[in-house]
């Protein structure tokens, strides 16, 4: 939780190492290069040039000598880890900032004060321990967060292949993947993980799974051909090249051989790793808010502390005592409990979100999601289900909606659901034939084995309304699985296949682009040939078509209808497959079918049945979730590596873009090629204009983008002041996940690297869960506002005692330790309980908060907490404090000006006729309370004998004057005659002699407080009456009782404060008291306060006293006044929502 902690400490400048301009320039250049496509050109070279460049041949690979040369030139095939600081240095750096140093210095001074204090006042000791503990705990939280980038790099390391097969010196050998160098010839087999970026030099039906890099659901064909675009130009972008296999991707099927052209950091994966570890986590909005708040509070606290430290020095107060009071003012201003309050509040919200399938790794991410203005979402697996599903069929010359059912009951519901398109007719002969071909010409099979070894009866399960065949695991590629799942609720696939067993097959390959199988029909019928594949290839092998139960010859009219249907389905972003069949009349099942060297059966006179189109469909709830985001004024961008047509089709289905906005120019699909063109613009201003022109659109789809492009999209959105949430599941998403204000990874389909880089993980991979997060994020911002308003209100009654103590010299009404008891004790649970408040009804109808104007702590909240509620609370505290001191005999009129020496010297007073104190002050320094004559003189008030050295006469204190406190043998001869009685003169002569050489007396003694000197005739005053002897213990205890009462009064007025902070505008009677944890909080602070007051051991530790029960009640009317005042304020605001009160006090 370091970011929320950084409210106390984050000082970025203290962490940065000084670098030369040259180093900075090189680093900037490296960052810029990482944001461009990797600079491969080797995939466009002729084979001879490639072999010559690296010193290899396809048959013999590299020689051992050339391996060493290339390794020296290119380095090892390893990802360069980021420079890491030792853990202990990282930990110590958490203390290297101003605020931490301030609190540590304060704690140290407290320990020093305790060490040199002869009376060993434990207040300083306890305060020092608490300040050190706050700093240490905060630093520990910060340190734990900073290990994150190391974990991300570990995630990349876990992806790196361990071994691979390569050719060296003409021999096949197995080497560690890190040993590969550019020029190595590597064999790629089905299931292998690609050990480097490799150019394919020979291939046999080679397919690679690039989904972790590009988000493409389907395996991609790889061949030796140089990739060319539609204009016949060579494709320069590596991610678009069909003759490259990329580091850490998986060989899906087939085999091949290739030459390593990129290793280590100079690979697409190396670029992603560099981006992921280079991009720094952005400070979260809540972190920024709390940091600004603490900066403000700290500036106020430090300013007040220093000012009153100087005032204290001018008053002559002991420097250590002054330092302790300065720390007291700082402690009173800074809400130390805010750290725990924010942490626990975020943790509680994270716990709530876990029940909604959202795992929160970084607690601050919860609030960040609530502040989000843009959600940049990956398509595959986040917005979509990441499984190909049948959407339409074209049969009987018509296009029909054909959604796959979860089970038979669900299929019945689907067929009755109103739609914009007609549903298929399951009884149609054409549709039945299409289903048969799709079932037979299909190698996908359901995995029905249970954990206990038994097998699932799929046919029976299809009647179970709770069963979902769409989620059933199956073998085969994504499209074949989609076809199989369409078929199963309509006709059991096992039964269909059992009735027509396969007797021959030609598998799909990238050259033919079709798949064929021949099946026995039994009962003396000829074998049935079924074919599926690319529609244009399948139609080209047909001479007739089957429609409405009849076979007819293909003509121009049919071709036109077919073309319109094919292009229409393709334009929706759907993958279209064509299906055909033929009964092999004249052949029998035992015929030896063969396709080598050429097929021994005819294949150019098939009958075309129709088309089936598949798409990775949107997840359930996503379209509604996007609408909810739009209502909350949160933009949703689709950011995908998939084809623009497919991306746009899905975006329309999930409401990310609309045709209306496309037509009006408010929506746009931006391609990766376009971004590449922008990055080539040399003028940064012009480049920025291009980005701004695109980002000004209301709705945006980013298609065919690379990992570097994703990062640029996020950075440019942030440049415009947007709060960006990034979702993703692939390795390619890691840089953007880390760069975004909040990264959201997928828990099921997500790679470990993306999970490590993210702040939150969707356990169900469902975009709709993000919307729940937005709602919770907004709720926690509201509740944090309430919690801070509650916490800040007690700052004024905490600060005011110190200010009054220094300025008016009133005996200190509240000790520093009791302030900590409030901030870290009684206020904690009530403040946290506000996190349990339920959301307001309009929470998702508001726009995202404006980070520039809608602050966590604004002037109105400060005004409410400090100038309104805080002032009332301070008045309540002083009221109770004065009542208690008065009850112990110290009337309010004698307190002012006498506070600085209250704990060190006994107060002396003159009295009125009714015995009440009239005028008070302090006598001389030091109070030795032995009776009679003493060697050197005694200060005990005179009784019967005359002591010329003391400050008392039979009438009382001598009062202000030069010879009141410093009467001694050494100076008695200089005392004016009118200052001595005859008896005193005789006593001086007796004790000192005529010369005054004796050392008796108080030659160096002064007044206890020269600004608060007791009047002439004053006597010691305690227990409400004049006394002959001082009693500092009584006087100190009376003040401690008053301080304790002040402490209790804050608890009592905080009852009302907690209740009024439940709502910002609604009446408490509307909101109710359903927050059980808050009700417990009210009880908790009261019981804790009573425990601190009435437990003897705690009295010693915290300086509390067992308060008389009646002294709890003077604060109650003030608490009632606070509640009544705020209810009236809110009522006026509700009645006049545009009024002055709402404008200036609605926080």
List residues with catalytic annotation: 378
What does residue 216 show for φ and ψ, rounded to 5 degrees?
Answer: -75, 125
Angle at the Cα of 315 (from 940 to 873), degrees rounded to 5? 100
Which residues are CB-neighbours of 441 under 8 A, at least 6 positions away? Answer: 515, 516, 517, 530, 531, 532, 579
Q: Contact, 47 vs 201, CB < 8 A?
A: yes
Dump strand ranges (E) for 266-345. none
Write the CA distances from 999 to 159, 967, 974, integer angstroms: 90, 11, 15
Distance, in Å, from the CA atom of 995 to the CA atom of 134, rounded to the nearest integer, reads 63
Pairing of strands 250-262, 185-188: antiparallel
Provide the 8-state DSSP code for 279.
Answer: S
Tokens at 994, concatenated = 């005529």
Nearest residue to 729 (alpha-carbon basis) of 718, 744, 739: 744
Coil, strand or helix at 410: helix
Dump strand ranges (E) for 912-1048. 917-922, 952-953, 956-957, 1019-1022, 1025-1027
Report the interhelical angle of 2-9 vs 285-314 (nearest 10°).
30
Coil, strand or helix at 527: coil
Nearest residue to 759 (alpha-carbon basis) of 747, 741, 744, 780: 744
Residues composing the chain: 1147
Unique residue bearing structure tokens 């900066």: 295
Q: Contact, 212 vs 730, CB < 8 A?
A: yes
Report the interhelical angle of 644-653 vs 556-571 (nearest 10°).
70
Please report how many Cα atoms fall inside a 13 Å half-sphere around the Cα of residue 627, on the Cβ side: 7
Tokens at 476, concatenated = 């085969």
Provide the 8-state DSSP code for 242.
Answer: T
Angle at the Cα of 245 (from 51 to 571), degrees rounded to 5? 130
Q: What is the number of other CB atoms lying within 10 angstroms of the CB of residue 1110?
A: 10
Distance, in Å, from the CA atom of 271 to the CA atom of 731, rounded to the nearest integer, reads 11
Chain center to CA of 139: 18
Residue 597, preceding peptide bond in cis (omega within 30° of 0)? yes
Tokens at 836, concatenated = 């349990």
Distance, in Å, from the CA atom of 1056 to the CA atom of 1061, rounded to the nearest integer, reads 9
Q: Contact, 1077 vs 830, CB < 8 A?
A: no
Which residues are CB-neighbours of 87 under 8 A, at least 6 positions away? Answer: 143, 147
Q: What is the number of other CB atoms lying within 10 angstroms of the CB of residue 842?
A: 7
Distance, in Å, from the CA atom of 903 to the CA atom of 905, rounded to the nearest integer, reads 6
The H-assigned helical ranges of 230-280 are 268-278
Chain center to CA of 1047: 36
Write the CA distances from 477 to 209, 484, 569, 643, 1067, integer angstroms: 11, 11, 21, 19, 60
Angle at the Cα of 230 (from 225 to 236), degrees rounded to 5? 55
Coil, strand or helix at 538: helix
């Amino acid at each position: 939780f370091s970011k929320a902690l950084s409210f106390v400490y984050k000082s970025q400048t203290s962490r940065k190492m000084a670098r030369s301009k040259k180093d900075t320039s090189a680093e900037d250049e490296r960052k810029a290069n990482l944001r461009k496509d990797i600079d491969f050109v080797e995939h466009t070279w002729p084979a001879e040039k490639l072999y010559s460049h690296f010193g290899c041949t396809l048959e013999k690979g590299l020689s051992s000598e050339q391996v060493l040369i290339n390794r020296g030139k290119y380095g090892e095939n390893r990802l360069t880890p980021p420079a890491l600081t030792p853990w202990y240095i990282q930990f110590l750096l958490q203390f290297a900032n101003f605020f931490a140093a301030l609190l540590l210095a304060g704690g140290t001074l407290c320990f020093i004060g305790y060490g040199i204090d002869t009376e060993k006042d434990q207040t300083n000791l306890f305060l020092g321990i608490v300040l050190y503990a706050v700093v240490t705990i905060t630093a520990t939280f910060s340190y734990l967060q900073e290990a994150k980038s190391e974990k991300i790099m570990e995630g990349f390391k876990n992806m790196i292949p361990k071994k691979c097969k390569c050719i060296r010196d003409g021999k096949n050998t197995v080497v560690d993947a890190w040993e590969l160098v550019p020029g190595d010839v590597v064999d790629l087999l089905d299931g292998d993980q690609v050990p480097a970026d490799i150019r394919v030099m020979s291939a046999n039906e080679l397919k690679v799974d690039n989904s972790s890099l590009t988000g493409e659901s389907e395996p991609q064909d790889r061949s030796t051909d140089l990739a060319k675009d539609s204009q016949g130009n060579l494709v320069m972008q590596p991610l678009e090249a069909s003759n490259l296999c990329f580091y850490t991707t998986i060989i899906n099927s087939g085999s091949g051989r290739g030459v390593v052209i990129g290793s280590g950091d100079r690979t697409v994966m190396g670029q992603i790793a560099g981006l992921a570890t280079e991009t720094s986590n952005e400070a979260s909005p809540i972190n920024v808010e709390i940091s600004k708040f603490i900066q403000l509070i700290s500036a106020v606290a430090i300013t007040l502390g220093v000012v009153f430290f100087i005032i204290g020095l001018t008053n002559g107060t002991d420097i250590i005592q002054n330092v302790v009071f300065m720390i007291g003012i700082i402690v009173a201003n800074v809400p130390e409990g805010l750290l725990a309050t924010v942490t626990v509040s975020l943790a509680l919200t994270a716990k709530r979100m876990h029940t909604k399938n959202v795992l929160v790794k970084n607690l601050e991410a919860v609030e960040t999601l609530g502040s989000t203005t843009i959600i940049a979402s990956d398509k595959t697996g986040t917005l979509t289900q990441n499984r190909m599903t049948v959407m339409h069929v074209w049969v009987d010359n018509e296009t029909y909606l054909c959604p796959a059912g979860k089970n038979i009951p669900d299929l019945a519901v689907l067929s009755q659901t109103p739609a914009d398109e007609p549903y298929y007719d399951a009884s149609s002969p054409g549709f039945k034939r299409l289903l048969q071909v799709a079932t037979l010409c299909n190698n996908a099979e359901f995995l029905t084995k249970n954990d206990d070894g038994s097998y699932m009866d799929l046919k029976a399960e299809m009647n179970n309304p709770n069963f979902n065949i769409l989620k059933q695991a199956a073998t085969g590629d994504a499209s074949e699985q989609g076809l199989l799942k369409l078929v199963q609720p309509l006709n059991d696939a096992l039964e269909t296949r059992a009735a027509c067993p396969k007797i021959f097959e030609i598998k799909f390959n990238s050259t033919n682009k079709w798949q064929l199988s021949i099946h026995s029909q039994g009962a003396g019928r000829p074998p049935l040939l079924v074919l599926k594949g690319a529609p244009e290839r399948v139609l080209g092998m047909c001479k007739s078509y089957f429609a409405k139960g009849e076979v007819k010859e293909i003509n121009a009219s049919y071709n036109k209808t077919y073309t319109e249907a094919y292009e229409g389905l393709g334009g929706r972003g759907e993958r279209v497959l064509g299906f055909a069949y033929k009964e092999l009349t004249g052949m029998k099942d035992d015929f030896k079918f063969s396709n080598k060297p050429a097929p021994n059966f005819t294949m150019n006179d098939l009958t075309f049945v129709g088309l089936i189109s598949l798409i990775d469909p949107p997840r359930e709830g996503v379209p509604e979730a996007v609408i909810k985001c739009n209502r909350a004024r949160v933009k949703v961008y689709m950011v995908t590596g998939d084809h623009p047509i497919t991306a746009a089709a899905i975006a329309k289905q999930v409401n990310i873009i609309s045709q209306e906005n496309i037509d009006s120019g408010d929506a746009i699909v931006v391609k990766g090629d376009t971004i590449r063109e922008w990055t080539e613009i040399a003028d940064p201003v012009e480049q920025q204009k291009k980005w701004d022109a695109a980002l000004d659109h209301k709705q945006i789809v980013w298609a065919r983008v690379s990992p570097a492009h994703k990062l640029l999209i996020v950075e440019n959105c942030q440049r415009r002041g947007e709060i960006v949430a990034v979702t993703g599941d692939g390795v390619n998403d890691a840089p953007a996940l880390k760069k975004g204000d909040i990264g959201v990874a997928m828990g099921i389909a997500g790679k470990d690297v993306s999970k490590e880089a993210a702040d939150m993980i969707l356990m169900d991979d469902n975009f709709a869960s993000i919307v729940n997060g937005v709602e919770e994020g907004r709720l926690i911002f509201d509740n944090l506002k309430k919690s801070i308003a509650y916490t800040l209100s007690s700052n004024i009654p905490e600060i005011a005692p110190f200010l009054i103590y220094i300025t008016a010299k009133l005996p200190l009404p509240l000790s520093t330790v009791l302030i900590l008891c409030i901030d870290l004790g009684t206020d904690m649970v009530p403040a946290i309980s506000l996190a349990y408040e339920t959301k307001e009804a309009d929470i998702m109808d508001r726009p995202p908060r404006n980070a520039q104007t809608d602050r966590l702590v604004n002037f109105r909240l400060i005004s409410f907490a400090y100038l309104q509620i805080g002032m009332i609370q301070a008045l309540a505290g002083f009221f109770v404090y004065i009542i208690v001191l008065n009850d112990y005999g110290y009337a309010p009129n004698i307190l002012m000006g006498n506070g600085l020496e209250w704990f060190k010297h006994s107060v002396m007073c003159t009295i009125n006729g009714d015995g009440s104190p009239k005028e008070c002050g302090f006598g001389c320094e030091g109070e030795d309370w032995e009776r009679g004559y003493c060697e050197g003189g005694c200060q005990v008030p005179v009784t019967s004998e005359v002591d010329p050295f003391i400050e008392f006469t039979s009438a009382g204190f001598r009062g202000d004057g030069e010879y009141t406190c410093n009467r001694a043998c050494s100076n008695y001869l200089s005392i004016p005659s009118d200052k001595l009685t005859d008896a005193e003169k005789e006593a001086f002569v007796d004790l000192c002699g005529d010369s005054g050489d004796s050392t008796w007396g108080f030659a160096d003694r002064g007044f206890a407080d020269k600004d608060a000197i007791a009047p002439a005739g004053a006597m010691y005053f305690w227990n409400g009456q004049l006394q002959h002897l001082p009693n500092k213990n009584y006087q100190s205890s009376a003040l401690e009782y008053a301080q304790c009462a002040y402490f209790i009064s804050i608890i009592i007025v905080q009852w009302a404060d907690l209740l009024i902070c439940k709502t910002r505008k609604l009446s408490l009677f509307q909101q109710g008291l359903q927050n059980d944890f808050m009700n417990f909080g009210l009880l908790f602070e009261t019981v804790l306060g009573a425990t601190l007051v009435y437990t003897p051991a705690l009295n010693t530790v915290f300086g509390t006293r067992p308060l008389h029960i009646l002294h709890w009640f003077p604060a109650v009317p003030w608490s009632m006044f606070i509640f009544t005042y705020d209810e009236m304020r809110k009522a006026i605001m509700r009645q006049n929502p545009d009024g002055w009160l709402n404008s200036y006090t609605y926080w």
